[in-house]
Amino acid sequence: LQSLKRDGEDSSFSEETYCELVKVFIESQSIKSLAALIIEAHKLESLSTECDKSVGFGIVNACEKLGFSGKSILDEVDAQGGFGGVGVYVPILMAYCKENRTAEATQLVKEISSGSEVQLDVETYKALIEASMTKQDFESAL
């Protein structure tokens, strides 16, 4: 966080580093602290930080890779009244699509779209539509 505050640069942590970080928080049952880290990092990140380079993306992506629900982290961020940026949502949506959980992905997109300052990119919508079509979930594809 110090480098984000000092330089306003993107996080340069690797996926492995995020996985190790998340493991420590999960093993110590510090989900609230992990959510607080996402919130604070987002406040310090530059507005030009790419979604997949954000700390929120790195943490939630690591959660999903480790089999821990990224959605539970998102729910905790929301419970704390914080915001983690679009990077928090993308790995959850991608995991839902990969697991053919298109109805849940569609529900999350609806939550994002209603009253949120988050705007998903075209690639995210494209992945959701493709996953829905593959599953023949035409309602979610719409």
| Model confidence pLDDT, tens digit, residues 10-54 | 557 889 999 999 999 999 999 999 999 999 888 888 776 777 888
Predicted pLDDT of residue 141: 64
The pLDDT tens digits of the residues spanning 50-93 come to 778 888 889 999 998 999 988 899 899 989 998 888 888 888 88
The pLDDT tens digits of the residues spanning 109-134 come to 888 877 667 777 787 788 788 877 88
User: If you ran DSSP here, which 8-state letter would residue 13 be given?
Assistant: -
pLDDT tier at 4 (50, 70, 90 boundaries)? Answer: low
- Lookup result for tokens 């494209």: 126
Total domain count for the chain? 1
- Lookup result for tokens 């679009």: 86
CATH number assigned to the domain comprising residue 135: 1.25.40
How far apart CA 76 and CA 66 sit, in angstroms, is 18
Domain of residue 104 covers 2-141
Predicted pLDDT of residue 5: 47
Backbone angles phi, psi at 73, to 5 degrees: -70, -45
What is the C-alpha radius of gyration for the chain, rounded to an integer number of angstroms?
15
Extract the tokens encoding 106: 């569609």
